[in-house]
Amino acid sequence: MAHPTSSDQSNDLRKEDCKERDSLVVCFGEMLIDFVPTVGGVSLAEAPAFKKSPGGAPANVAVGISKLGGSSAFIGKVGADEFGYMLADILKQNNVETSGMRFESNARTALAFVTLRADGEREFLFFRNPSADMLLQESELDKNLLKQARIFHYGSISLIDEPCKSAHLSAMRIAKSSGCILSYDPNLRLALWPSADTARKSIMDIWDQADVIKISEDEITFLTGGDNPYDDNVVLKKLFHPNLKLLIVTEGSQGCRYYTKAFKGRIAGVKVKPVDTTGAGDAFVSGILYSIASDQTIFQDEKRLRKALYFANICGALTVTERGAIPALPTKEAILQFLLEAAVI
């Protein structure tokens, strides 16, 4: 399979700029404050100080799409507190539609302390007992916003607790009945679930409803009960379902694999010097959803799909070259610049 060239990709992106951007992606779920140590390679207990940073995978994806020049909105709940208002402002500054956001006066905005230890493992400490995002009610959903969406994107953290779980399932139903493409990134955070079995069951309960699913190798191992994540047969027999338009397996710096009803393949990773991997998966999702929102033919056209996944790989790669998630998410200009430099090399 021929790899898309940088010059081809660059020309395609310029053409896209001429198209109208009316393909709305609505992202549903949590938005929170990440507290990250001011020095790397330490445990949370050893950290001398922490820097606050906006987080939450669905919100990151919404910002990522907007920074690429796409149209996005966020639906979720934060606290009626300084952190909650700060997060809403960050979305607005990044041109994300916030009419679906709600503010909870009886609970605080969620906090997460995150560190990358010297051994390379990420360590999380969550403050959600309960946090505002868990308290989104079905009655608070912006149904009109959901009906306008071309793509409805969600994770699994919003499935852990009621009433948010019911709101999540209701939003999926509304989006599906309006002809939306449903996009699912489980984004497993096992520490937040009551048990591994509950997590596995809840994540898989809504599996068959998604049109597009993105998972990591670790998530394949978890969801299949320990099967080999590199085995195509495992992926196709246990995780691919008849309604699925696209299943993507991300492999970090190694790139990604893709599976549709008609074809499957692999796109190599993009080599960069990593500084901070936070948000790389969300940037990848932003990149592929940005492409799908403006061109659904990529589900049937392998050449177009490969170009879109190469673009998403670059989105993920550029994000790891800077600290933080939202500040590091790339613009269309940054992608074009990368492609131009790659073409020169």
For residue 128, give every residue at least 6 positions away whose Cβ sits within 8 Å of its Cβ, in sequence order, or none. Answer: 110, 111, 134, 192
Q: pTM for the complete prediction?
A: 0.92
Helices (H) and strands (E) in the chain, counts: 11, 13
Arithmetic mean of pLDDT, 261-287? 92
Q: How far is it, in rounded angstroms, from Cα 176 to Cα 72?
A: 17
DSSP structure class, residue 329: P
Q: What is the pLDDT of residue 12?
A: 61
Arithmetic mean of pLDDT, 336-342? 89
Residue 6 reports pLDDT greater than 60: no
Question: pLDDT category, 21, cuts 50, 70, 90?
Answer: very low
**Count of residues in the chain:** 345
DSSP structure class, residue 41: B
For residue 307, the tally of other CB atoms under 10 A from its CB is 22
Arithmetic mean of pLDDT, 188-193? 94
Over the chain, what is the mean pLDDT? 92
Peptide bond into 130 cis (omega under 30): yes
Arithmetic mean of pLDDT, 133-152? 98
Q: How far is it, in rounded angstroms, from Cα 182 to Cα 106?
A: 31
Arithmetic mean of pLDDT, 150-175? 98
Q: What is the pLDDT of residue 89?
A: 98
Arithmetic mean of pLDDT, 324-332? 90
The percent of residues in the chain predicted with pLDDT above 70, rounded, is 93
CA atoms within 13 A on the CB side of 342: 20
Arithmetic mean of pLDDT, 281-308? 97
For residue 141, give every residue at least 6 positions away whose Cβ sits within 8 Å of its Cβ, in sequence order, or none. Answer: 75, 100, 167, 170, 171, 174
